[in-house]
A = this chain, B = another copy of it.
Amino acid sequence: MQQTVARYLIFFQYTGSKYSGVMKAPAHQAVQGVGNHLENAVRKLKPVNEVCVSISSRTDTGVHALCNSAHVDIQRRADKPPLSEQSLLEALNFQLKEEPIRITRAYRVHSDFHARYQAQSRTYVYRLALGCQHHTLMPLTEKDLCWALRDTRLNIDAMREASALLLGTHDFSTFRALSSDAPFKCPVKTLDLAQLEPGESFSQRHFQRDIQFWELTFKSRSFLYRQVRRMTGVLVAIGQGRLSVSKIQDLLEARDSLAFPNNLTAPAHGLFLTNVQYRDTDLVASMSEEQ
């Protein structure tokens, strides 16, 4: 009797600085994606089936995640029981230990569960550090983990006013970067959260310089390609007084990727995917049904 295939949803974190992004890179590419390392780790568990890790939320080169998710099927030899959630988590972390990638949670899910399509929301946090005349003057503990701006202050009120205009349902075409991937996806998205709050850092209190941190948080069911970095770039330009608050409205109304101002996309290394949410009921597998 052949063992049933078990499907798992895994949540994982990574610092993105050394990867080509979260998606699996083609074999010939020198720099690998987080996905390559995840698949290799699953393969080390010697499943009978071909391994394919389906990642829920795309992040680019240099972007980090405190929480991303993926599903994967594991079929073991007939004489072996399915891996428990905890065993899977520990075994994958053991395999990944050389890499800045860690599995944080694992759930056995229904065989038709899909990490990407069943995600209810994604949350991104963009970290800004103010008052840094040169990147060498940042605390090294923040290296590649925030966007260091020379400005000592931003017009926070204007940024908050502008981010409120992004809330709700809009055609975000202007905020989508052109990409060969799925250019025909619907550009209408509903932004549930766009907030700006003071950020935190250990080094802020102890480093001998006045560096302030701010965090932009965005939550939506899904985002367009580079949407968060483009929204952040525009909000920062508004905070710097380089754009007026009403520019947000103009950009939304343009509904055109090419209408986005040049060189305004925020750099990748300040961006963190911090949550991918599912319905609680999706995280409870019916084991009887599976067997």
User: Which residue of B67, B202, B215 is within 8 Å of A200 (Cβ)?
Assistant: B202
Stretch at the interface among A135-143, A153-161, A220-228: A135-143
Interface stretch (choices A39-47, A203-211, A231-239, A243-251)? A203-211
Q: Which of A50-109 contact B (CB under 8 A)?
A: 64, 66-67, 93, 97, 100-105
Do A208 and B104 contact each other (CB < 8 Å), given the known contacts A136-B93, A199-B202, A200-B200?
yes
The reply to whether B102 and A137 contact each other, CB–CB distance below 8 Å, is yes
Is A125 on the interface with B (CB-CB < 8 A)? yes
A278: min CB distance to chain B, Å = 12
- Determine whether A274 belongs to the interface, using a CB cutoff of 8 Å to chain B: yes
Alpha-carbon distance between A102 and B132 when the two chains are bound, in angstroms: 14
Asked if A67 and B202 make an inter-chain contact with CB atoms under 8 angstroms apart, the answer reads no
Q: Which 9 A-B pairs have the closest CB atoms?
A: A206-B274, A93-B136, A200-B200, A66-B207, A100-B140, A15-B140, A102-B136, A66-B206, A200-B202
| Interface contacts beyond A66-B139, A104-B137, A202-B213: sample of 19 additional A-B pairs, CB < 8 Å, sorted by A | A11-B208, A13-B140, A64-B141, A66-B203, A66-B207, A66-B208, A67-B207, A67-B208, A93-B136, A100-B140, A101-B140, A102-B136, A105-B208, A125-B206, A200-B201, A200-B205, A201-B201, A201-B202, A207-B274
**CB-defined A-B contacts under 8 Å, sample of 28:** A11-B208, A13-B140, A13-B207, A14-B140, A15-B141, A64-B141, A66-B139, A66-B203, A66-B206, A67-B207, A67-B208, A93-B136, A100-B140, A101-B140, A102-B137, A102-B140, A104-B137, A104-B209, A105-B208, A127-B202, A141-B145, A145-B202, A199-B202, A200-B202, A200-B204, A201-B201, A207-B274, A208-B275
